[in-house]
Chains A and B, each alone.
Chain A
Amino acid sequence: MGKIVGMEVGIAAAEAVGLCNIDVAAVYPITPQSHIAEHLSDIVHDGRIDAEFITVESEHSSISACAGASATGARAYTATSSQGLMLMHEILPIVSAMRLPVVMGNANRAISGPLNIWNDHTDIMPQRDNGWIVMHAENGQEVIDMTIQSFKIAEHPDIMLPTVLNMDGFQLTHMIEPLEFPLQEEVNAFLPDRVPFATLHPDNPLSMGCFNMPDIFMETMKAKDVALLNSKKTIVKIWNEWGKMFGRYYKPVETYKNKGAETLILTMGSMGETASVAVDELRKAGQSVGLVKIRLWRPFPLEELRAAIKGCKTLVVMDRAVSFGGAGGPVGTEIKSLMFHDQDRPRIVDFIMGLGGRDVKVEDFIAMVERAAKKKDETYEYYGVRE
């Protein structure tokens, strides 16, 4: 391992991409992803890596160019945020259906209406059903590690699916943290060159992206679903391999003081660190509270979540997105639905909070745990909204 450096996380994300021997990057700038775009172009323009940097005219074209590049067998990367991810939306399910291992970084930011550049998860939630592997990083070190892991996961012959690594905008991307970069030769050993399954080349002319008539479309859809569900075991294998090499282990669901806890807070992304401080405070006050954190959002790690929350009485879900007119926040709704048949499932209390950069502090987690204890039913509610 290299020495520990102090660095902004967005810049570190670009540095991590720089270690991955990418062939093509197609990036369109958007706040708060912009430091990734800027620093990646620095790395290419300074000749530190040999890659094509395509300065596309939109995110629609960045993901499209990545699709084209990936189809030639190239290792392709893009990064975006919010409106950019929304603009990519049309192309995302095509990339996964074509099994193109494009890797994306997403600096989570609220989606517009009204415009807001700050952090929440409303950008990634509408992309849930596109067949991508969706992961969330909690801190800068995880951004580095998971960026490198993403290429290996996406390109693995048993997976061949695109990945998106979520990192909370500003609250994570713009933090300066002490970070440890693996050495280039260590990354090379972990992540060899991509061995593509099929490529666009005259040596073997193939047609990619053929349309499906009704007699085959459903089979294609099921195949994609099965591929995504099956990817979990290989992802876990790759994370274990990383752990053995670098000593940092990654799991689909991470836990903190969850053993025997009566109440568990559930988070995704950078909130986990603040929530863990709240858990410590509550423990000090004699309360039986712990924390579970979802790292792998797609494919959804149901078995791991079940194991992590076993025995708890109340699960307090922190949702940073709204499913307007629906049954609650997307995370809460999904967990309720997935655990519907579980006889001994906990009471699931879903809070919508921290939207559009609204700060969620230690005392807020404590207040939500207290509110959840008093709450009789499982209806969702907004936390911290001025009425």
Chain B
Amino acid sequence: MNTVENFEIYAPKLIEKREFFSPGHRACQGCGEVLALRLLLKALGEDTVVSNATGCMEIISSAYPHTAWNLPYIHVAFENAAAVASGVEAGLKALRRKGKIADRYVKSVAIAGDGGTVDIGLQALSGAMERGHDMIFFCLDNEAYMNTGIQRSSATPFMAATTTSPAGKAIKGQRTGKKNVPEIMVAHNIPYVATACPSYPLDLMNKVEKARKTIGPSYIHIFSVCPTGWRAASNETVKLGRMAVETGFFPLYEVENGKYRLTIDYPEKRRPMADYLRLQGRFRHLDPADIAKVQELVDKEFRKLMHKVKTSVPWS
């Protein structure tokens, strides 16, 4: 477990006090994305330019003439956050090199939801990562198109009910498993890939700091609980995030130059998926046999990850 002794004493000293994402935004109660955003921006610090995809974080933060952002922020469209961020990076680099702006290192970051990352934004993301821009791409994954009313994405988990993968009589929710985008990012040979969850704030911030120091492209996939879309209690966001990690459904790991490493210790027997599923209305239709199927899938994915953790070697 990535814990610090006497954490509550040290935490206020370790964590940036300034808020780069202000209160007063319009997010739902218990929004896991906002929690993730607040923490990751603290870890990034002020020398940052944010390119945001259309989605929850954009609409809750930037209704003209208001803004929740205390950092330079740009929103252009849904699928192009990575492309915009690559333009920001190139622009700042050229202007700095040519002496047209101050000689100051500013990190370009893109922030998108799961739809803006794993579905409609995947092409722009792949292009930006492949080109090697010095930028970080954050996926705030709440496992469906929440902004448009909880439609399924390719990040929606197996059997989850959404408004376009409903729990019907013939088909019981989402028919496919979660697309493994961190793995796709590793395949781009980028120097740093990580998963994170705001239920583990220090782990999340450490990873963001690491990505910030990495020269070149980094990708951080952040599991962001959505009580509204998951039909869960809004006071259980942090708990649900912890359970997703503890069950091994969303393991916390990082991949540095191809080398996989878990950033959390798992006991021999992980928490069963049933504990996690029963707290969410989107899984209410699952019978014991379905839960067993979900468990089997999670176990398989976890085994695959453990194999990579054991066998991968850094390429530099």
Contacts and interface: CB of A to CB of B under 8 A. Distances in A.
A74 to B, nearest CB: 4
Please report whether the interface of chain A is mostly helix, strand, loop or mixed according to DSSP. Answer: loop
Contact of B72 (A23, A64, A205): A205
A316 to B, nearest CB: 41
A207 B102 CA distance: 20
B49 A58 contact: no
A68 B102 contact: no
Interface in A51-77: 51-52, 54-58, 60-62, 64-74, 76
B179 interface: no
Interface in B233-264: none
B95 A73 contact: yes
A65 B126 CA distance: 14
Interface string A17-57: 00000011010000000000000000000000011101111
Contacts of B62: 207, 209-211
Given A23-B94, A69-B90, A202 B100 contact: no
A57 B130 contact: yes
A72 B88 contact: yes
B74 A68 contact: yes
Contacts of B47: 202
A202 B91 contact: no
Contacts of A201: 49, 72, 92, 101, 106
Contacts of B73: 200, 205-209
A202 B88 CA distance: 13
A61 B80 contact: yes
Interface residues of B, number: 53
A105 B66 CA distance: 36
**Residue picked from B59, B63, B77, B90, most chain A C-beta under 10 Å:** B90
B91 A216 contact: no
B96 to A, nearest CB: 10
B124 A212 contact: no
A60 B87 contact: no
A142 B74 CA distance: 35
B298 interface: no
Interface in B69-98: 69-77, 79-80, 82-95, 97-98
B176 to A, nearest CB: 25
A363 interface: no
A55 B49 contact: no
B76 A202 contact: no
A26 B95 CA distance: 15
A54 B94 contact: no
A229 interface: no
A90 B86 contact: no
Interface residues of A, number: 47
Please report whether the interface of chain B is mostly helix, strand, loop or mixed according to DSSP. Answer: mixed
B228 interface: no
Contacts of A26: 87, 90
B48 interface: yes
A213 interface: yes
B124 A60 contact: yes
Given A54-B131, A58-B123, A202-B49, A68 B76 contact: yes
B46 A61 contact: no
A73 B106 CA distance: 14
A90 B77 contact: yes
Nearest to B110: A68
Given A71-B74, A193-B100, A211-B62, A52 B90 contact: yes
B315 interface: no
A76 B123 contact: no
A210 B87 CA distance: 19
Interface in B213-233: none
Nearest to B66: A210
B117 interface: no
A23 B127 contact: no
A362 interface: no
A54 B86 contact: yes
Interface of B: 46-49, 51, 58-59, 62-67, 69-77, 79-80, 82-95, 97-98, 100-102, 104, 106, 108, 123-124, 126-128, 130-131
* Among all A-B residue pairs, the 9 with the closest Cβ atoms: A68-B87, A57-B127, A65-B87, A72-B91, A69-B91, A74-B91, A61-B83, A64-B83, A209-B75
28 contacts: A23-B94, A50-B98, A52-B91, A52-B93, A54-B131, A57-B124, A61-B123, A66-B87, A67-B84, A68-B85, A68-B87, A68-B89, A68-B90, A68-B108, A69-B87, A69-B94, A71-B74, A71-B88, A74-B90, A202-B46, A202-B72, A202-B104, A205-B46, A206-B73, A207-B73, A209-B76, A210-B62, A210-B75
